[in-house]
Structure 1
Amino acid sequence: TTFGSRKVCSVRRAVDGMARISVDRGIHKPQAYASDGSDAIGFVQFWGNSPALDLIEDPQASAYGPAAVGLQQGARSELTVEELSEGGRHVTETSCVSLAGEDVNILLVGAGDIRHILRTVARLRRLVPNRKVRFHVYEKHLEVMARHIFFLHLINDTRLPVRERAEIFLSLCGNTLVREKDSRYLSHIAPEFVELMTDSSEHPLSNVLDLTHLKYRDRDSLHDIFKGWSAPFDVEALRDARCRGYYRDRYDYRKNLIDSDFQTNVKPVAGIIHWLHYKEFCLTGVAYETRLGTYNTSNPTLASYTDAKDVKRGTSVQVRGFWGDIINSPYHTFGTTTDPVDRPRLFKTSSSQYLHHETDIAHFNVTAYLSEMDSSQPYHLPPETPEEHAFPYQSPLESRDVPEDVFLEGYHEPGRGSRTADNFAPLSAGFSNVEVVPLSGDLCDVLRKPKYKGRFHRVFVGTMSTVPLLEELGLACGDPGSSSQEAKRIRRLPRFEMPDSFGAKREDCALGAAMERGGTLIFETMKYQAHLEGATKLSFRHRIAQAGHLAGWHLLDDVRAVPNLECDMKALRARDLEKDATDFLRFVVG
């Protein structure tokens, strides 16, 4: 019955959303041989489609070229340590805001996960010691917010060794099927979150989470979501039905379509992703596997609801199912970039093959973030050894991995009834000056509240959360930059197409009003989307550039950020331009 209702579900919302964020949807229709691309991305974004950033000072925010080049080199294959550091300084110098001596307010809009929080907090005590950092986290779907709260608890659960926390984190973050031990951990911890929703909570995480910005009905919804994690959830059947709806007549040949997506849109920008791993994710939903674990238990945190219509009665209903992404893997969040100091050894190749893959990189990165968060000391690979340069090329990760399993043998969770303030594990030291503020509701209405005026120094906006901004600026329908015949033939930067329109709708933009003058906005691009053509991705960049131009924001590194888009551009040329463009669009509020 769930997927009987699914057939009449209001898919047009997602279709219309995709139409709004591209300049011309007819340029190249994604997945024309199977179905519309919105069937693949789903309605709920459970993970992001870009690398984790340190939102206070991160060179990756200004990097360009492929994040992890494969056999096909881009025009800018990789950045050196000095160049990345220079890019990081450019972010700080370009911004007019001086963060010295004041609290830092960061807004995350539709990030999909807590990757940016994790990386920012890990480096916080080294870069900005004794500074209060406040993350305001907005998510349209409360199921995603519930996952944020759970993962905040997990990374702060100091009873577990760092390695075990990293494994559970990646498993529950990106896998539809998890290990039994992951499921047991979740079922044991979930009741704590029910108590956390109350004002009188003694949970240590209540010192980090500020729930006062949520309405009580949203708290009640989170309460129900946490309790719902104990309900049966057949994610295998639900995901298979999603795949059948997406591939349609070519379901039996889906491996060929997966291979086409990988060769066309994944490998050129992230060659570190292994084909077998990407195929396994697309077929089963399992992205991260570790050691000898068996992944056969449903991940209930991926359960969510979407609007549908009852087939018999014609009334609106909420349908529970798996509405996440089935084609864009979670590998880009932690698995396709790493610290420039460790990159040459982790991205080393032999016979045109990487010696490590995206799962190795992800485990190393998350372990590094958690370790640095606890100790405030940088976590890097050990010194090089001669064995790394001689066949069979010993991995530096082998000597870095510490056999922490011995600690797990004696690890015992206290019973549910005994969880009090006395036996809660202390929070990680990295969260001593950190506060997380969940936000929900209509984004524009929330940001128009007086308490948020001029509040934020940094803002990150996810790809699928840009529609409210475009609607507010009148860019959801029509294109203000296509009036001239030249613009219809070739699309250039907004400062060339419509120079007189800079800041024309500054007063209409709630997001701009919530920014402190000189603050930095970082927009996620579609660079790592696996199901969209290059021209569609480029047109998205132009539409966001138009929004920033109308709002009075200055686009940084605009030549590489927004390449020219020709109406008759070949698909290969468009993909190459997108591949070599910046990973993010960065603006400074003027």
Structure 2
Amino acid sequence: MQHNQSIKTWENRLADRMSAGRASEGAGCIAWWGFSPARNLLRLGPVTFDGEVNILLVGSGDPRHILKTVADSPDKQNLHIWVIETSMEVVARQLLLLYLTLLPQERMGINEKTEVFLELFGNGEIRSQTEETLRRAAAELILSVTETTEEAMHACLNTTLLKFRERDELTRIFKLWLQETSPAASSPVLMSKAWDYRVRQHLGTRYDSRKGCFDWDLTMKLHEKGCGIISKQQYMQWREKGLAFEMREGIYQITNPTLLSTRVFNQQKGDKVGIRGYWGDIVSSPYLSFGVETDDRSLLKTQNGQHLKTAQDLSYANVQGLFQSLSSRRGCLTAPHSDPDAGMAATLSQQESPSVNDLMPLGGVSVTFLPLDSLQKLPQKQKYRHYFNTIYFSTTCVYQLGPAMRQIAAPDGVLVVELAKYVLDLNKEQEAGFAEKAASSALEAGFEPWREAGSDGVHAVLVQQKKK
């Protein structure tokens, strides 16, 4: 009993630090992107799944695993992906990124789509063309979430199981995006100031020597952890300005409202005040999701010990490749070199934006968003008993991992836990402690490590304990 309490206490501290911690924490209190590269979740573990598969994602933060898993799976496989997030702001972002992913090529060429996706994904400030795409997407998503039919308008943007107040909140967020990108916006939040505030809070007295701090985090942490592809120039620019992807000449000066959220602070008198700003990661970087791993060895070539390509190049190639695979899945083969020039492509700014009904259908694939508080309620519903073939927990949600998981995992179910390898605020001892506590919580939930799994420190792969 004492052991269980110590685990819970440690996990509560971690949850406080990672999810609602001090403003000075580099990881932030909202996960706009994950702390691990995109993986095909069905390839993690000993089981090869055929036919219909149910995957539960808890706190993944972005759709990287969804895109990678679908793109790498056979067309005949039916994939049902269920998503639980920690805030409706993250749900809104997930819906936006999935909407962009599913834009048909006749509406937006794959090269342009890749650029717009990465710009909205990892840039605090965006170009005017991207702002226009965002506005049109937000308007269509408002119609999607306010639709009162029981069936989703698109199988991969299913919000019908969310509570009414959660769908109202999504509508409010999408409308806020429209307001904040409007020329008539009153007192808009300037990302440059919001970003600088976070950097100042994080570094404190080290702010004046911040470039040295940035360089230390890159060379002594990210590079040491195997992310040598992240170039100094790009990482320093992201740490300084929040600009990760600058792929095309243009003016990046419009605040990206999808990276803004409201955080509640306690005042000295006991009152609470909500402040809208940037409260996400300012240390680990959005390059982790798509920009540090690739199957194309040519992209990892080095010369004189230096990488010839950058994390931005990898992110572009990987996201473009995922879009290619997804287009092929719907039976519309395309090739990168045949993509029209962005200036000639039919863009959203030139014609009426497609409704959710017009997006690419991915045969046999559905993505359903569940209420924020649903994790502990799933075991109470007969439908979800022994239902999920793969369950994924992010670093920021490991504290929610408990005994109830054994009731919703399929008999051959696999549990994947994102570890803290790329949470740079943690030292090696804390990183190891995180992995140890995660393993203890998983054991309590009835899962044991998959013995054949390689320990890359990025994910722990576990299977249900064998009955003795």
Q: Same fold (TM over 0.5)?
A: yes
Q: Which digits, 9 at most, give the CA deviation of each residue in 1:540-585, with x for residues without a partner?
A: 1111111122222120247953xxxxxxxxxxxxxxxxxxx44210
Of 160, 163, 167, the residue aligned with 1:215 is 163
Note closer, same or farther for the CA distance 1:209–1:188 as it changes in structure 2 (3 Å cut): closer
Partner of 2:6: none
Partner of 2:341: 404
Partner of 2:249: 292
Q: Which digits, 9 at most, give the CA deviation of each residue in 1:53-75, with x for residues without a partner?
A: 11222xxx4xxxxxxxxxxxxxx
Q: What is the SS of the residue equivalent to 1:466?
A: helix
In the TM superposition, residue 415 of structure 1 has moved relative to its aligned partner by 4.8
Q: For 2:264 and 2:11, how far apart are their aligned partners in 1? A: 15
Q: Are residue 359 (structure 1) and residue 312 (structure 2) matched? A: yes
Of 83, 91, 101, the residue aligned with 1:155 is 101
Note closer, same or farther for the CA distance 1:327–1:37 as it changes in structure 2 (3 Å cut): farther
Of 30, 34, 46, the residue aligned with 1:48 is 34
In the TM superposition, residue 444 of structure 1 has moved relative to its aligned partner by 3.9
Q: What is the SS of the residue equivalent to 2:326?
A: helix
Q: For 1:194 and 1:99, how far apart are their aligned partners in 2? A: 36
Partner of 2:66: 117
Partner of 2:50: 100
Q: Which amino acid aligns with 2:216?
A: S
Of 123, 140, 147, the residue aligned with 1:199 is 147
Q: Are residue 255 (structure 1) and residue 186 (structure 2) matched? A: no
Is the contact made by 2:23 and 2:198 (CA closer than 8 Å) also made in structure 1?
no
Q: Which amino acid aligns with 2:406?
A: G
Partner of 2:138: 190
Q: For 1:314 and 1:337, how far apart are their aligned partners in 2? A: 47
Aligned 1:414-425 pairs, distance under 5 A: 414-415=351-352
Q: For 1:241 and 1:582, how far apart are their aligned partners in 2? A: 32
In the TM superposition, residue 330 of structure 1 has moved relative to its aligned partner by 0.7
Q: Are residue 447 (structure 1) and residue 378 (structure 2) matched? A: yes
Q: Which amino acid aligns with 2:282?
A: I
Partner of 1:136: 82
Partner of 2:365: 434
State the Cα RMSD in Å: 3.0
Q: For 2:25 and 2:274, how far apart are their aligned partners in 1? A: 18
Partner of 2:222: 266
Q: Which amino acid aligns with 1:588?
A: V
Unaligned runs of 5+ in 1: 1-14, 26-34, 62-90, 383-398, 473-508, 562-580
Note closer, same or farther for the CA distance 1:438–1:239 as it changes in structure 2 (3 Å cut): same
Q: For 1:316 and 1:401, how far apart are their aligned partners in 2? A: 55
Q: Which amino acid aligns with 1:294?
A: I
Q: What is the SS of the residue equivalent to 2:247?
A: coil
Partner of 2:117: 169
Aligned 1:573-588 pairs, distance under 5 A: 581-588=456-463
Q: Which digits, 9 at most, give the CA deviation of each residue in 1:385-417, with x for residues without a partner?
A: xxxxxxxxxxxxxx958552253277754457x
Q: For 1:444 and 1:207, how far apart are their aligned partners in 2? A: 21
Is the contact made by 1:447 and 1:511 (CA closer than 8 Å) also made in structure 2?
no
Q: Which amino acid aligns with 1:107?
A: L
Note closer, same or farther for the CA distance 1:204–1:366 as it changes in structure 2 (3 Å cut): farther
Partner of 2:389: 457
Q: Which amino acid aligns with 1:434?
A: V
Note closer, same or farther for the CA distance 1:537–1:427 as it changes in structure 2 (3 Å cut): same
Q: Which digits, 9 at most, give the CA deviation of each residue in 1:326-377, with x for residues without a partner?
A: 11101111011112xx22x110111111111111011000000101110249
In the TM superposition, residue 120 of structure 1 has moved relative to its aligned partner by 1.5
In the TM superposition, residue 276 of structure 1 has moved relative to its aligned partner by 1.4
> Highest Rg: 1 or 2?
1
Q: Which digits, 9 at most, give the CA deviation of each residue in 1:224-252, with x for residues without a partner?
A: 01111123331111111111111111211
In the TM superposition, residue 49 of structure 1 has moved relative to its aligned partner by 1.1
Is the contact made by 1:443 and 1:468 (CA closer than 8 Å) also made in structure 2?
no
Q: Are residue 467 (structure 1) and residue 399 (structure 2) matched? A: yes
Is the contact made by 1:195 and 1:201 (CA closer than 8 Å) also made in structure 2?
no
Q: What is the SS of the residue equivalent to 2:154?
A: helix
Partner of 2:428: 534
Q: Which amino acid aligns with 2:213?
A: L
TM-score, scaled to structure 1: 0.69
In the TM superposition, residue 155 of structure 1 has moved relative to its aligned partner by 0.6
Note closer, same or farther for the CA distance 1:37–1:349 as it changes in structure 2 (3 Å cut): farther
Partner of 1:243: 199
Q: For 1:291 and 1:552, how far apart are their aligned partners in 2? A: 50
Partner of 1:228: 176
Q: Which amino acid aligns with 1:539?
A: G
Note closer, same or farther for the CA distance 1:523–1:164 as it changes in structure 2 (3 Å cut): same
In the TM superposition, residue 319 of structure 1 has moved relative to its aligned partner by 2.5
Is the contact made by 2:145 and 2:167 (CA closer than 8 Å) also made in structure 1?
yes
Q: For 1:368 and 1:203, how far apart are their aligned partners in 2? A: 31
In the TM superposition, residue 176 of structure 1 has moved relative to its aligned partner by 0.5
TM-score, scaled to structure 2: 0.86
Q: Which amino acid aligns with 2:325?
A: E
Unaligned runs of 5+ in 2: 1-8, 181-187
Q: Which amino acid aligns with 1:324?
A: G
Q: Are residue 303 (structure 1) and residue 260 (structure 2) matched? A: yes
Is the contact made by 1:153 and 1:205 (CA closer than 8 Å) also made in structure 2?
no
Q: Which amino acid aligns with 1:585?
A: A
Q: For 2:347 and 2:147, how far apart are their aligned partners in 1? A: 34
Note closer, same or farther for the CA distance 1:559–1:99 as it changes in structure 2 (3 Å cut): closer
Q: For 1:217 and 1:559, how far apart are their aligned partners in 2? A: 42
Is the contact made by 2:395 and 2:419 (CA closer than 8 Å) also made in structure 1?
yes
Q: For 1:526 and 1:314, how far apart are their aligned partners in 2? A: 34
Q: What is the SS of the residue equivalent to 2:146?
A: coil
Q: Which amino acid aligns with 1:408?
A: A
Q: Which digits, 9 at most, give the CA deviation of each residue in 1:470-490, with x for residues without a partner?
A: xx5xxxxxxxxxxxxxxxxxx
Q: For 1:271 and 1:556, how far apart are their aligned partners in 2? A: 29
Q: For 1:318 and 1:511, how far apart are their aligned partners in 2? A: 34
Q: Which digits, 9 at most, give the CA deviation of each residue in 1:111-160, with x for residues without a partner?
A: 11000111112123xx2x33321111110111000001111110111110
Partner of 1:589: 464
Partner of 1:335: 291
In the TM superposition, residue 18 of structure 1 has moved relative to its aligned partner by 7.5
